[in-house]
Structure formats: structure tokens, C-alpha cells
Structure 1
Amino acid sequence: MSSQDIPEENLPSTQDEVHGGAVTTKVADPFADPGMPPHEHRIQDIDERAAKRSERAVAFLFLLSMLATVGFIASYVTLPVDKIIYVFPIGHISALNFSLGLTLGVALFCIGAGAVHWARTLMSDVEVADERHAIAAEPEVKAKVMADFREGAEESAIGRRPLIRRTMFGALALLPLSGVVLLRDLGPLPGTKLRKTAWSEGKMLVNQNTLQPLRPEDIQVGSLTFAMPEGMKEEDHDFQKEIAKAALMIVRLQPDNIKDKRELDWSVDGIVAFSKICTHVGCPISLYEQQTHHVLCPCHQSTFDLSDGGRVIFGPAGHALPQLRIKVNDKGYLEAMGDFAEPVGPAYWERG
């Protein structure tokens, strides 16, 4: 293909130059930078009434987002989980799921649409070309960046458009409440459930194997007995949940071997009762060493000294085993004088 076949308007332009009497022809750069196109003003730039209309439109979108967020929370609180509705063309769907999805979608969309409309109609749209520079900017460049930032903030009109500013902050402040409300789906609030067990004043200690109330003479020195509160039955629907907190281990020590004064005061003739639940991750403790009075958790080898307030002497457990205060009632049976003074298991790190 020869140059004669190329349209004349597509050929690079030429320019003749004279150097010392000789004429040379210089071809212009076909890829020269054309520069920035001339800036065209928007209607909002020259008409304040149009700018006010855009401002009201943006504020309306932010207000609609706020209302949708309130609707999300109201739907979550008021709509039952099992309510089914028909929505065309989806079909039958959970009213709660449909309402939550619709309101949250509207809240997010309106914030995004409001921000886009704000940027396209009210913020400055003047294109600025700037030279690239090294990553480690000079102080002059940093100062220019900060100046550009301040200029951009001024040109965004956020200071001169209080209606937009307030409604945007309101929409952004309300939207996170949707996520906070959803935290309720983690389960019901625990209340005092972690602090309370099935033990209470006057409840007799029942042997977990024979299901018979325990007398002091039933506990031999060196033996380990597992007990539970009277009234609990394995066929109860909440038995596993309750026994997981109330499981008790009972040992009989020589009173002279008990080092902790409170432990001695809470015991009966050397019989001490401690929670069976390890304070590390809640495993049941079942290994007892008679000579040292130590109990060992089989999961991670946390070791507790039952002669010294159930304190930890080895392993990852962070707390001593809670002790149950016991006495002998009028019928000669062992009974609790209340609940554990501390939460059982790994319920809390700080137990003050």
C-alpha cells in the first residue's frame, strides 16, 4: 500500500525548515498530546436553582436511606420468623427475609445513589492534569496536596450544602444499626445463666451413679464421688445443659491436710465439693490422685490442688475450681448452702 492510497487527512502534517540555505522537511509528531478538552459548565454550575434541585434530590435519597434503615429494624423486631407471604414473581417467601432484604437493599442503594448524584451534579468536575512524581514527595508537593485537598473539600460544597451534609451523616450513622440489630441472631441474651447453676440452698447432694442422697459416711478418704443436685433427672429435656454447669466432684481429705481456710470452713469433716468442670475449656475432670490430692483434666492436663482451694498448679487453666459450700442437714444428708460463689468453667476471664 503506497502513500497515494492513504487519505490525505490521515497523513502526518509536514513543515519545511531552512538551515543554512538547505531546506529540510520535518514530519509533525502523529501522537502529540492533544491537551485537555475545554471545560463545559453544567447547568448546576451556572444556575443556583438547578443546584438547589440537585441538593434536594441528594438529601431525599439520604432521607430515604434513613427511613429504609428504620424499616429494617422495625421489620426485624415485629415480623414473626414463620410468616410466609406470596411475592410475584418470586413466589412464597418468608416475610421477614423479604422485608429485611428489601429495606437493607434500599438503604444501601440510596446512600450510593445519593453520593453519585452529588458528585456528578454539585462537586467540581474540572479535570486537572498533574505530573507524576517520586513516591517520597518533597515538602512543596506535600503542601500542594494538602492545598488541593482543601480546595477539593471546598469545591465539593459540603460546607455550603448543610442539607446534604446533615442527611448524609444521618444515613451513615443509622445504617450500622442494621448490623447491630442482627447480632441478636447470635442467640438470646445470657442474662445470669452463666453465673447460676441448679444448685441452691437446701438442695441435697445426690450420687450421680446411684441417684441416692449422700451422707458423710458414704464418702471415704481417698475416694472421688460425682454428685448432682436433687430433683434433676436424666429424662428432663434440659438435663444435659444443667448438668454441664452443676456437675460436682466430692473428695474426703484429712482436715489437717486442707491448706485453705475458706475451703476448710466450707467443708464437712474434711469432705470438700468442687465443680467438675475445668476452667480452661470446660472439659469434665475425672482423674484424682489420692496421695497429692490433685485432680487432672484429661483434655489439656490442667492440674488442680483440692487441698488448697482447687487452685491451678499446672496447665493452661486460668482459674481455680469453684467450691460449693456444704453442710449436713437434720436428716444426716449432705446439702448445699447455696450456689457456687463464682461462675463455673471458662465462663469469664475476670471474676471480680
Structure 2
Amino acid sequence: MSTDNHDEGHELVPAEPLADPGLPEHLPRPTDVDEGAAKRAERQVATLFGLSSVFALLFCVSYFVFDIGDDPDTVGGLGASNVFLGSCLGLALLCIGIGAIQWSRKLMSDHEIVEFRHPAASPQEDRDEALAALDAGITDSGIGRRPLVRNSLLGAMAVLGLPAIVALRDLGPLPGKKLEHTVWKKGMKVVQDVDGTPIKPDMMEIGQLVNAEPAVFFPQDGEPELSGHKILAEKAKAAVILVRMHPDDIKPTELRKNWGVDGILCFSKICTHVGCPISLWEQQTHHLLCPCHQSTFDLADNGRVIFGPAARHLPQLPLELDADGYLVAQSDFTEPVGPSYWERDRTDLK
């Protein structure tokens, strides 16, 4: 309702509500006057909540029943898993929604109310009044008087949490030791990731960054072509970047003094925050920036984190030259690559 303010210097005084605001005469609903109709409505609402529980359980069953592997189950040319997971979860939510609407339309209190506007900072009396109104609303909802509706709703909401728990399984198991080793090994050539060209130091200029991979993913003539999901996963883990800096700018730890070649260093391409690929390189500052969450690593200082949410430095691959003058790995990474995870030692460079 509006307030009157006839004199600018006077306090605002609430206006009295209109005697007839133009609302039609209130008519009771069938469920307000017929207890039998109210019971039927209560059973309808409880049935909808019960159906929601059934569909939520069917979601869980569908998750485990339908195959999504190399030969997936299909329905009408569509993946059966996607069809049933989407349908069951959608129907579970729909039944709860329809049930809540039916509850409010047929069983909750059906009276018009009017309240005055009040200042944003309510006095304690208004707060107490609001709590009293909340209690009245709970009473009007009938949740205390209708245990069938209340219990079926609580059951449906509880069961609806199961699909969320089951779907978390798609995050996969913790990586365990899978990130502790890659395909890099002593003597393996570092090659460009586009065409597999081996790299010599004189092919890189100071300030340059090159995206690279191990040579094993670029078989020579006569060798079998590598393919498959596991190969792609191994290739992603082994992805690296090469950067060349002036040797005087590099501050290696005692262990890493011989890990570079003429100012060329090699680091994992995978951010240690959540695993995004990195290649945003600032030549002057020697900083590598992750485009996802702005974690920043100083490659002149052993890949140390200088900004952002990453908790660990960027793993470095030790380099050397082979007999033909090409860049090769001295060994595999000496620490896990990729994002941080619970089982990983969280100590950083000392």
C-alpha cells in the first residue's frame, strides 16, 4: 500500500487500506469445504511425490544398466543411456514441481492478505511479526496436519539426491599413480606437436615458445600408427612446451642446474590447478599464463607459481642433446604432471 506525505517535514504515516480494492468476492475451493476432496487432493500430491522417487531410482538403475562403451545401447538411433537418464531425471523433477503446485493450489491456505510498506531497517516488533507470519504460513500450508504430503515430499527430496550421487561417479576415480608417469624416457626426442619435426637448439630463438610432444607419437615410415583413447590420454599427459631464455636469466635449483640446454627449458603444458593447457608466454618477464584461471608461472625460476589458484609449480622435463644434436629427454618427469589432487604431495619447491 502507498503512504501519504502531505507535508515534507512530517513523518510518513501509513494510509489505511482500501475498503474495496476491487478484488472479486472470495469463493471457497472444493477442498476447503469437502474433506473428501481434500483427502483426494492429498493422495494426488503424495502420488506425484512418490512417482518422483520412482523416477529418481530409475535414473540410478539406467546409469548402470545401459552400456556406453565402444558398442553402446541405443533407442531409436540415440544413446539409450542419455535418453533414459535425461527422461528419468526430468520426470522426477517434473513430478515434484507438479505436486508442489497442486499442494499450494488445493491444500494450502487460500486467503488474500494486505501489508503496509515499511522501511528497509525494520524495528524489532516487525521482525517478531515476520516470524509470527512465517509460523502462520507453515500452519496454513498444512504440513503439520497432513503427514502424508509432508512425508512423501521429504522422501521424494531424499531419493532425488541419489541421481546426483550416482552421477558423481562420472567424475571418475582419483588418478592414483596414473599421473606419476608419462611416456617420456631417457633419449626420447622432443618434436614439434604439429608435424613431429625433431628440434635442435639452433632452431629456437631467445624468447620463443614451441609446443612439443615426445617422438613416440609420430612413428617413422613403416611403423604402425598409434591410435585409441588410451593413446590420446598418454599424449595429453606428455604434452610439453619448450622456451628459450638467456642463460643468465635462469635461476635453477641445485638439482636442476643441468636440466636445460643453452637456455632452452622444457615444462609440462598442463596447468597444476585443474589441468588446462598453457601456452600464453610473456617473453620479457618469462611468465607463462594459464588462460582458464590466470595462474601464472615463472619459467626462469623453475616454473614457480607467482599468481593465481595453482598450488604447485609447473613440472619440468630434464633435457640433453643426443649424438646428432637433437633435444631429447634425460628421463621421465620426476614428479606427477597435471592438476593437483588429494593423494598428491602438496609440498612445493623449497
* Range class of TM-score, shorter chain: 0.5 to 0.7
Map 1:77-116 → 2, pairs under 5 A: 77-80=64-67, 82-85=72-75, 95-116=80-101
Q: 1:282 to 1:212 in 2, by over 3 A?
A: closer
Cross-structure match for 1:245: 238
Could you tell me whether the CA contact under 8 Å between 1:274 and 1:321 is conserved in 2? no
Choose from 232, 236, 249 the match for 2:226.
Answer: 236
Deviation at 1:62, TM superposition (A): 0.7
Taking structure 1 as reference, are residues 111 and 287 closer, same or farther at Cα in structure 2, changes over 3 Å only? closer
**In structure 1, what residue type is equivalent to 2:48?**
L
Shift of 1:181: 5.4
Instruction: Look up the match of 1:122.
Output: 107
Structure 2 unmatched ranges of 5 or more: 1-18, 220-224, 322-326
* Aligned 1:316-335 pairs, distance under 5 A: 320-324=313-317
Q: 1:156 aligns with which of 132, 141, 162?
A: 141
> Residues 271 and 240 of structure 1: is their aligned pair in 2 closer, same or farther, counting only changes over 3 Å?
farther
Q: Which residue of 2 aligns with 1:70?
A: 57
Instruction: Report whether the alignment pairs 1:191 with 2:175.
Output: yes
Deviation at 1:65, TM superposition (A): 0.6
Give the equivalent residue in structure 2 for 1:168: 153
Q: 1:183 to 1:268 in 2, by over 3 A?
A: closer
Relative to structure 1, is the Cα distance of residues 140 and 298 closer, same or farther in structure 2, using a 3 angstrom cutoff? Answer: closer
Deviations 1:242-285 (A, max 9, x none): 17734375989999x96522224x75999996326385964459
CA gap of 1:317–1:208, structure 2 versus 1, over 3 A, is: farther
Q: CA RMSD in A?
A: 5.6
8 A Cα contact 1:204 1:229, kept in partner: no
For 1:309, the equivalent position in structure 2 comes to 302
CA distance in 1 between partners of 2:104 and 2:289 (Å): 63
Q: CA deviation at 1:341?
A: 1.3
Question: Matches of 2:245 and 2:31 in 1, distance apart?
Answer: 91
| Matched letter for residue 134 of structure 1 | R
TM score, norm. by length of structure 2: 0.57
Cα offsets for 1:71-114 (capped at 9, x unmatched): 1232233224554446xxxxx76544543454234323321232
> % of aligned pairs identical?
25
2:160 partner amino acid: L
Determine if the alignment matches structure 1 residue 204 to structure 2 residue 187.
Answer: yes
In the aligned structure 1, how far is the partner of 2:82 from the partner of 2:269? Answer: 40
The residue matched to 1:275 in structure 2 has which SS?
A: strand
Kept in 2: contact 1:327–1:337 (CA 8 A): no
Determine if contact 1:278/1:284 at 8 Å carries over to the other structure: no
* CA deviation after TM superposition for structure 1 residue 66, in Å: 0.7
Q: Displacement, 1:167?
A: 1.7
Secondary structure in 2 matching 1:106? helix
Alpha-carbon distance between aligned partners in 1 of 2:334 and 2:79, rounded to the nearest angstrom: 44
**1:283-332 Cα shifts (integer Å, max 9, x gaps):** 4599999xxxx9676999x78455x535478x98966442335799xxxx
Q: What residue number does 1:274 align with?
A: 266
Relative to structure 1, the CA distance from residue 192 to residue 339 in structure 2 (aligned partners, 3 Å threshold; closer, same or farther) is farther
Q: Distance in 1 between matches of 2:309 and 2:337?
A: 14
For the 8 Å contact 1:203–1:229, the answer to whether it is kept is no
- Tell me the CA shift for residue 165 of structure 1: 1.6
Amino acid in the other structure paired with 1:203: K
- Work out the CA distance in 2 between the residues paired with 1:326 and 1:65: 59
Greater Cα radius of gyration, structure 1 or 2: 1
Aligned residues: 296
CA–CA distance in structure 2, aligned partners of residues 41 and 310 of structure 1: 71
Deviates more, 1:274-283 or 1:145-154: 274-283
Whole-Å separation in 1 of the counterparts to 2:51 and 2:63? 18
Change beyond 3 A, Cα 1:101–1:335: closer
CA distance in 1, matches of 2:93, 2:109: 24
Aligned-partner residue type, residue 74 of structure 1: V
Which of 325, 334, 346 lines up with 1:340 in the alignment?
Answer: 334
8 Å contact 1:213–1:334 — kept in the other structure? no
Compared with structure 1, are the counterparts of its residues 164 and 263 closer, same or farther at alpha carbon in structure 2 (3 Å cutoff)?
same
Q: 1:261 to 1:96 in 2, by over 3 A?
A: closer
Letter in 1 for 2:188: L
TM-score normalized with structure 1 length: 0.57
- Give secondary structure in 2 for the equivalent of 1:205: coil
Partner of 2:117: 134
Q: Is the 8 A contact 1:247 1:276 kept in 2?
A: yes
Contact 1:267 1:326 in 2 (8 A): yes
Write the distance in 2 (CA, Å) between the matches of 1:285 and 1:195.
Answer: 23
Instruction: Name structure 1 gaps, 5 residues minimum.
Output: 1-30, 87-91
Q: 1:134 to 1:286 in 2, by over 3 A?
A: closer
Give 1:124 shift: 2.5
Residues 142-193 of structure 1: CA deviation (Å, up to 9, x unaligned): 54443232122113221233332222122223335546656777x7667359
